[in-house]
Structure 1
């Protein structure tokens, strides 16, 4: 996976918020920490729903499990499961896939890249690639690539249709998330040069066709434009204007 020269141009052109965030500031790109402060400007009303399980939530600490029949995954070695009770901002294209080949990652991993690499900061905080997820499911997905291997998934999280194969290190998202994932992945490739494998490209092209853009996805793109100042063209071009 290689980055094109485009990120360097983006790094020079985009303003990144490192100081205190003004919620009324002009559109701009943020680092991950400050991007997380913008989420309430995007995810409210009908969009206040998790990616992998479709659960409604009131805020980061209050998720309505009854709205999606979610149940935390049983693990006898785990005394408590606080991550199942909180919302986290999931990278659809993972931080590892964005940065593991960068010098900053090789010298100190994600923490080093987040602190010292301008290009990585822009990628890590890009709102088009961030989506609310239940912390447990986000953690289980880890750095695994997306896949599709069964039409009859055995539930892992109650009624949630997303499943994870820990042995093969892959995650199968529920159908409602697949088109979103495909179009976010296309955006990250086009914008930052984060290349897709041939296998992933074929899968995402299929998902893009099978699960077309919805009005919710269009509204999310419109809200991100107001905050960040750009559209995901793989969504925007399919939305009514």
Structure 2
């Protein structure tokens, strides 16, 4: 289905903030079982410029999942994932996805920006209890697509903007690439993960899906004094090419 002919309401899953995106003139594209806003009423090149300064992108339609419990890390590494020993760090996988280690035995796995979900689909299909007794401990799945919304904030002004709504210092020399902050953003619990597009700061922002519209509105408001605006996935993918 070509971009521009897609409606988010035609899918069983849709962005938690699709009404706000529609109001910005969103041009949608089909992505698996949902629609994603590719641009928001502007040329992609213009949105790339906004994203370099300060942009907010909705990634909620993209795939994500989780695994938790005793044996989780051992099982995931046996499946080919690379996961370091530190908690509150995210580890990039070969397909571009991030394995965010929230605790010694908990992983929040978010897909790459292509949204192909190859690794996520494979893991979801491979996980199963064995028949041996006692049963081998391999953790258990924690589906995250419905539990958490997923936004990304990009741009040089992002750390200054976050200083208005988050008590953690997210400046580059304090918050390194891959680092995770499980903290309060705009007075609600959230997960912030530092990513990077070349030298350009970028932050994944995950919070309870029931708070998605509130979080989106708070970030849009906090961005205003820095000239920040929402942008579509097409511009974010362009920015990510510098990674």
TM-score computed with the length of structure 1 as normaliser: 0.26
Higher helix proportion: 1
The answer to which structure has the higher strand fraction is: 2
